[in-house]
């Protein structure tokens, strides 16, 4: 079965559908760096299918460059990643490109979710107008245009929990009506990534629409389970780092894999560690991190900004966002939610090891989102800046949750 991925980001949702046996026809994404990430991942899947993964390993080791990796891709796969902003102006040209890719193929599924900032609680809190005038509020109407044109059997639309309350529920209600008018029976549910083996507390709204001709309604049956692991099982095999340290490519693991990493297949046989590198941080920030970790270790207490001595405070705001410094607790079954703000600073994602005293590395953040270790995050240039990687990771759908959704959709079909 074939699918189109809209607002594809770094390909987290797509990765789950590929793992469940679906085949991508096109990915549409506005962020250029994320498009390179998708293309790199498609190269991995193509080479794995051709039993030539050694070429991909050469890329992770730094033996070949990105152009050489992409030279292994068939033209159709190479062209299937469409770097474009979805808008009323661009829809005709995007449709033309997707039409060329779908010749002879029926589009069975459309997946994806528009950028979430317009619906998120934090986004609304930080915007003077509560995001009321943000054009991204209405991107679902362009999503419906794809439904009308390609008439998939089913679509999967993922977004943040704040969608339920944005504009007092008006956007969600209008969205459902819009999709109903496009010819689909609509069902929605609240999912939490931690129910699917992801070691992260991440609640999301999932909307599923079944084409009315199928006679299918309601949500599919998701295979939820309880994973009795801790965040320490996710981090313990990685080399110790300080702030501003690490390797982009050709790194090595500190020790053998853990039971969780085996079961989840996050560390899946390619014995090359990449992107385990951290951002540099000021001495002041590191002092605050130390306070936060000690407070957690000594009594499982979270640091509030007002708990800091005045010598360590740099912000005058002492009434909101008081949890701006937060430890990713190793002894908990899951972390707090990873969001795109991790690209701005690491204060909300402090590593639990006091001796390392830093924020999370790119690879650690990717693992919390359940990306396998052989998933490589690209920049516009081939030097992989941290900001681009963190942004893609924070905005992504966890692939393990995506795979569970895809398997449930496939079973229902």
Which three-class secondary structure string do you get for 304-337? CHHHCCHHHCCCCCCCCCCCCCCECCCCCCCECC
Contact 196, 400 (CB under 8 A): yes
Which pLDDT value is given to residue 302? Answer: 95
Low-confidence stretches of the chain (pLDDT beneath 50): 120-134, 136
Length of the chain: 413
**Which pLDDT belongs to residue 118?**
55
- Residue 102's pLDDT is 93
Asked about 116 being catalytic, the answer comes back as yes
Q: What is the pLDDT of residues 194-230, one digit of tens each?
A: 999 999 999 999 999 999 999 999 999 998 877 889 9
Residue 208 · residue 156 · CB < 8 Å: yes
Mean pLDDT across the chain = 92
Q: Is the pTM of this model over 0.85?
A: yes
What's the sign of the alpha-carbon dihedral 226, 227, 229, 230? negative
In angstroms, rounded to a whole number, what is the distance separating the alpha carbons of residues 32 and 381?
A: 10
Q: How far apart are the first and last CA of the chain?
A: 10
Helix (H) or strand (E) holding 377: none
Domains of the chain (ranges plus CATH)? 2-223+395-412 (3.40.50.150)
The full DSSP string for 335-373 is BPPP-GGGGT-STTSB-S-TTT-SBPPHHHHHHHTT--T
101, 116, 339, 368: which is the annotated catalytic residue? Answer: 116
- What's the pLDDT at 336? 96
């Amino acid at each position: 079965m074939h699918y189109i991925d809209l607002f594809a980001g770094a390909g987290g949702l797509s990765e789950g559908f590929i793992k469940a046996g679906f085949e991508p026809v096109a990915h549409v994404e506005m962020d250029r760096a994320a498009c390179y990430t998708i293309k790199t991942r498609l190269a991995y899947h193509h080479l794995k299918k051709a039993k030539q993964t050694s070429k991909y390993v050469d890329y992770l080791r730094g033996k070949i460059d990105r152009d050489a990796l992409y030279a292994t891709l068939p033209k159709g796969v190479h062209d299937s990643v469409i770097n474009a902003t979805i808008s009323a102006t661009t829809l005709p040209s995007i449709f033309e490109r997707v039409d060329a890719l779908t010749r002879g193929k029926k589009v069975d599924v459309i997946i994806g979710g528009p950028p979430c900032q317009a619906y998120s609680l934090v986004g609304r809190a930080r915007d003077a107008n509560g995001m009321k005038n943000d054009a991204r509020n209405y991107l679902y109407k362009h999503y419906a245009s794809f439904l009308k044109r390609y008439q998939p059997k089913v679509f999967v639309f993922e977004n943040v929990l704040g969608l339920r309350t944005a504009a007092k529920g008006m956007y969600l209600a209008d969205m459902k009506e819009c999709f109903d008018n496009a010819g689909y029976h609509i069902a929605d549910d609240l999912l939490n990534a931690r129910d699917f083996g992801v070691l992260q507390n991440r609640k999301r709204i999932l909307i599923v629409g079944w084409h009315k001709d199928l006679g299918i309604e309601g949500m599919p049956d998701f295979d939820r389970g309880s994973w009795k692991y801790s965040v320490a099982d996710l981090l313990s095999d990685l080399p110790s780092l300080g702030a501003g340290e690490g390797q982009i490519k050709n790194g090595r693991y500190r020790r053998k894999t853990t039971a969780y990493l085996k079961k989840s297949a996050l560390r899946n046989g390619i014995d090359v560690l990449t992107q385990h590198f951290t951002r540099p941080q000021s001495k002041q920030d590191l002092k605050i991190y130390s306070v936060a970790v000690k407070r957690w270790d000594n009594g499982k207490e979270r640091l509030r900004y007002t708990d800091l001595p005045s010598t360590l405070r740099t912000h005058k705001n002492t009434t909101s966002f008081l949890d701006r410094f937060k430890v990713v607790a190793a002894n908990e079954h899951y972390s707090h939610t990873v969001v795109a703000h991790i690209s701005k600073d690491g204060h909300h994602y402090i590593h639990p090891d006091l001796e390392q005293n830093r924020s999370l590395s790119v690879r650690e953040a990717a693992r919390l989102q359940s990306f396998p270790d052989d998933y490589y995050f690209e920049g516009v240039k081939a030097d992989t800046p941290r900001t681009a990687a963190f942004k893609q990771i924070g905005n992504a759908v966890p692939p393990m949750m995506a795979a569970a959704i895809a398997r449930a959709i496939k079973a229902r079909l």
